Amino acid sequence: MSPQLLRRAVEALSTFKIETPSWGFADTGTRFGKFFQDAAAIDMNDKLADAGHVHALTGCCPTVAAHVLWDFKAGEDPKAVVKLARKHGVKIGSINPNLFQDQCYKWGAFANNDASIRARAVAHCVDSAKIMQAVGSEYLSLWFAEGTSYPGQDNIRARKAFFEQSLKDLHKSIGPKQTMLVEYKPFEPAFYATDIADWGMAYILAKKAGPRAKVLVDTGHHYVAQNIEQIVAWLLDEDMLGGFHFNDRRYADDDLTLGSIDPYQVFRIFHEIHTFAAERGRQPKIAYMIDQSHNEKPKIEATIQTVVMAQELYAKAALVDHVALRRAQTANNVVDAELVLKKAFFTDVSPALAAWRKANKLPADPLAEHRRTGYARTAAVERKRRRAALGISQAGSYA
C-alpha cells in the first residue's frame, strides 16, 4: 500500500462513525422462536455496558440506538438513561418508536382506518420526539410493520393518504436540528401490499412530510437482485438519504452480520457516497447505523464483526481512483471502469486499519482482544445468576 493510499484510507477511517443497536445485544429470535445466550443483555444497563465495550475496542461506535418501549421505563426521566450511557462511555443515538407491538396496531398504525388509533400512534411518536430532545438525539428512526396481506383487504390509496397526514402531523413536533428517518421494507409482516414497500414510496412520503424528513435505507430490506447502490446514488442526488441500517441477507432481511454474504455490495454503496463527496467537495450528512439481531453468533462478537467489516469496506471505497474512473467512463471503456473499482476493493487496507488503531490507542484486533478480556464469560456468569434471581425463564419462549 503506497503512502498516498495509506493516508487516504486513514483519513476516511478518522471520519467514519457507526451506531450500534441496543437490541442487538439482547436475546432475539425469529418469528418461530428464540435461542438464548447466557451473555445476552438483560436490561438497558447491560446493553449500554456491551455497547461501551464494543466502542472501547473499535473506537468508532460512540452512540447507541434505543427503542422507546424496550429501553425507557414508563415514568423514568430519559436523562437517567443518558447518565447511564455516559457511565459506559457512549451516548444515546437514534430514537426508535414502537408501532408494531401493541394489539391495537393489528391493522396498522399510521395507516389504520381508525382515526383514534392513528392519533395514538402519532402521539407515541411525538412522545418519542420529546425523548429525543431530552437525550440530545438527532434522529427519530421510523419503521412501520403495516400493510395488507390479501387483495381487496383495504383501500391502498386511502392508506397512503392516512400515512401522509400522520407523517405531516409528526413532522410538526420535530425540532429544527432533528430528522425523521422513514424506512421501507418490501414485505413482512404484510405480504400483499406493504404501506412503504420501497425507496420511492419512502421518498414521496418523506418529501410530503416536510424538510426534516429523509429516507432510511436498510440493506436487508431489498429483494435479492435489487441494485441498492443505485438507490443510494439517487437519494444522494436528491438530498434525501438520511441514514442506513446495515446488515446482510441471502434472501431478504436476514439480519446477518455485514459483509457475511456480499461485501462487494457494501463496498459499492460506500463508493457511491465517496463519489458524491468527491464531486460535491463535501461528505454528505448520513447516519450510519447497525440493525442486526440474529440469534446464532455471540451478540458482541457479531457486532464487532460488523463494525470492523464496515470500517474495512469504507476505507477500501475511499481508495477508488476517481480520475481514472471518470476517464474510463467518458471513453465508454467498460472493462477499465470496472477494474478501477475492483482494484480498490481488492486492496489490502489492513496497514491503514493498523495505523489508525495505533494512533487512537486501540487494540490491533478488536475481536481477539474481546476474547482475551473474558468479558463475555464474565457477563454470562453474572447474567445467568441474575436471571435466576429475577425468575426470568429462557425456556420455551417465542419471539
Q: What is the pLDDT of residues 232-279, one digit of tens each?
A: 999 999 999 999 999 999 998 889 999 999 999 999 999 999 999 999
Rounded-to-integer distance, Cα 247 and Cα 260, Å = 9
Rounded-to-integer distance, Cα 41 and Cα 47, Å = 5
Residue 17 to residues 57, 180, 288, 308, Cα–Cα distance (Å):
13, 19, 7, 11
Task: Pull the grid cell for residue 43.
Answer: 436490561
Question: What local confidence, expressed as pLDDT, does residue 399 receive?
Answer: 34
pLDDT at 397 over 60: no
Rounded-to-integer distance, Cα 199 and Cα 161, Å = 17
pLDDT at 352 over 80: yes
Question: What local confidence, expressed as pLDDT, does residue 398 receive?
Answer: 35
Alpha helix segments (H runs only) across the chain: 3-15, 44-58, 68-71, 78-87, 115-135, 156-171, 199-209, 228-237, 263-280, 299-317, 322-330, 334-345, 350-359, 366-373, 375-390
The residue-averaged pLDDT of 59-82 equals 94
Alpha helix segments (H runs only) across 136-262: 156-171, 199-209, 228-237
pLDDT at 33 over 50: yes
Task: Pull the grid cell for residue 100.
Answer: 408494531
Q: Are 263 and 313 in contact (CB under 8 A)?
A: yes
Q: Are 142 and 184 in contact (CB under 8 A)?
A: no
Task: Pull the grid cell for residue 278.
Answer: 468527491
The residue-averaged pLDDT of 366-374 equals 98
Task: Pull the grid cell for residue 120.
Answer: 395514538
Question: What local confidence, expressed as pLDDT, does residue 288 receive?
Answer: 98
pLDDT band at 75 (very low <50, low <70, confident <90, very high): confident
Fold topology of 17-312: TIM Barrel (3.20.20)
Cis peptide before 189 (omega within 30 of 0): yes
Pick from 207, 129, 214: nearest CA to 180: 214
Rounded-to-integer distance, Cα 270 and Cα 336, Å = 20
Nearest 5 degrees, angle CA 73-CA 76-CA 77? 135
Rounded percentage of the chain residues whose pLDDT exceeds 90 = 90
User: pTM of the predicted model, to two decimals?
Assistant: 0.95
The DSSP symbol for 257 reads: P
What amino acid is encoded at 155 in this protein? N
Question: What local confidence, expressed as pLDDT, does residue 304 receive?
Answer: 98
pLDDT at 322 over 70: yes
Phi, psi of 52 (to 5 degrees): -65, -35
pLDDT at 52 over 80: yes
Q: Are 98 and 68 in contact (CB under 8 A)?
A: yes
Question: What local confidence, expressed as pLDDT, does residue 219 receive?
Answer: 97
pLDDT digits (tens, 9 = 90+) for 269-319: 999 999 999 999 999 999 999 999 878 899 999 999 999 999 999 999 999
Cβ-proximal residues to 398 (8 Å cutoff; 6+ apart), any chain: 29, 32, 33, 34
Q: Are 59 and 310 in contact (CB under 8 A)?
A: no
Rounded-to-integer distance, Cα 230 and Cα 235, Å = 9
Question: What local confidence, expressed as pLDDT, does residue 394 receive?
Answer: 66
The residue-averaged pLDDT of 197-216 equals 98
